[in-house]
Amino acid sequence: MLFAARESETMTQPVNNRPDTPCVAVCSTLFDDICRGCGRTATEVSHWVSMSQAEKDAVWDRIIREGYPRRKI
């Protein structure tokens, strides 16, 4: 239960307190359409550094809604 509470706190942080990337080093984009760790598509992963902040925020909003990233604290 403690883990769930900590994870919930991390994923509901204000936008300005989010990590630089949703990556959790559990990459599966070579085999899956959506990464099992962060919830991004292979295209989103490969273009992350060149995406605008608005594009990144849209990805963050979607993956958080879908229960990602699966980050261990």
Which tens digits make up the pLDDT trace of 26-69?
888 888 899 999 999 999 999 999 999 999 999 999 999 999 99
Within a domain: 30: yes
Q: Is the pLDDT of residue 21 over 60?
A: yes
Within a domain: 71: no
Within a domain: 73: no
Within a domain: 6: yes
Within a domain: 42: yes
Within a domain: 70: no
- The pLDDT, as a whole number, for residue 5 is 43
Structural domain range at position 56: 2-14+22-65
Within a domain: 31: yes
Global pTM reads: 0.74
Confidence of residue 10 (pLDDT cuts 50, 70, 90): very low
Which of these, 32, 38, 35, lies nearest to 71 by C-alpha position? 38
- Residue 28, CB-side half-sphere exposure with 13 Å CA sphere: 12
Number of structural domains in the chain: 1
